[in-house]
Structure 1
Amino acid sequence: MAGDHLSNDEFFTKLGDLFDTNRTKGHGSVYLTQKRMTFDTNLATPDATKVADDPLWDTHPQDPLPIIVRASNNKSTKHPGTDREAIAKIKLSTVVQPDQLETFYGRYADVCKAGMSGLKKRDKKKGKKDKKKKKKGAVGETKG
């Protein structure tokens, strides 16, 4: 599975392409996830006294752990009842070593900002505003 991960530079290139593809199609989402990798480390099971003293012993390992960052468009099939064409599912992942985290996140933020430019502002429903106004008026009133 380690061979399936892209290098950080390839990941950024393909992530930018994924944002561009979704923007040109006019619809779609990009899902971004990240978590620490623990399968390749030697986290030995602690003795009972260590667990009693610190139940979250595995949240601060002796050596920093690498991070896996994933991106996907979460598409795979044609939506029933719509005229949208089937879009191939795209899955990207990369592993970031602890000493590269700061530079990675700086570039990651730039790619995400560039990919999110041009998004339309979300339409707000009037019903929510009206309910808030009514509630505010009701709070200040007293029964006579």
Structure 2
Amino acid sequence: MPEHLSNDEFFTKLGNLFEHNRTKGHGTVYLTQKRMTFDTSLVPPSPTKVADDPLWDTHPEDPVPILIRATNNKSDKRPGTDRKDVDKIKFSTVVQSDRLDAFFVRYAEACKAGMSGLKKRDKKKGKKDKKKKRKA
């Protein structure tokens, strides 16, 4: 099983990843989150089924931690591509359910700070092109 970073280390590396992509002038940061799966050597969690609740399996007795991953998805090292000199960066952290609120506050701040260098989309161009196509 891979080593997961602490939450503070995760935010430090996430800020560095955003900064690295900003200085290069391009790049994508993929952020994923999912519920941790249980250890197969242990007994699986067994939530009680409730007839009125269609999402009964999302309410386990013991809260499940969340796995948060970040990567730049640079895995193509073929000659002739612009990715050949960039290594893949991949890291993750586990957030316990009792710390989710505080984590997501910091997570949102980190994402907003990382997106500050994005260019605003020019919406006027797209609307004019559509009107010309409709008239033709």
What displacement does 1:106 show?
0.8
Pairing of 1:1-144 with structure 2 (within 5 A): 1=1, 4-40=3-39, 42-44=44-46, 50=49, 53=51, 56-78=55-77, 81-83=80-82, 85-124=84-123, 126=125, 128-132=127-131
What displacement does 1:14 show?
0.3
| Contact persistence 1:79–1:86 (CA under 8 A) | no
- Among the aligned pairs, what percent are the same residue? 73
Q: Which structure shows the higher helix fraction? A: 1
Gap regions ≥5 residues in structure 2: none
Q: Distance in 2 between matches of 1:97 and 1:45?
A: 19
Please tell me the residue identity of whatever aligns with 1:44.
S
Question: Once superposed, what is the RMSD of the aligned Cα atoms?
Answer: 2.8
Please tell me the residue identity of whatever aligns with 2:36.
M
Please tell me the residue identity of whatever aligns with 1:32.
L
What displacement does 1:76 show?
2.0
Gap regions ≥5 residues in structure 1: 138-144
- With normalisation by structure 2, the TM-score equals 0.79
Please tell me the residue identity of whatever aligns with 1:11.
F
1:134–1:85 Cα change, 3 Å: closer
- With normalisation by structure 1, the TM-score equals 0.75
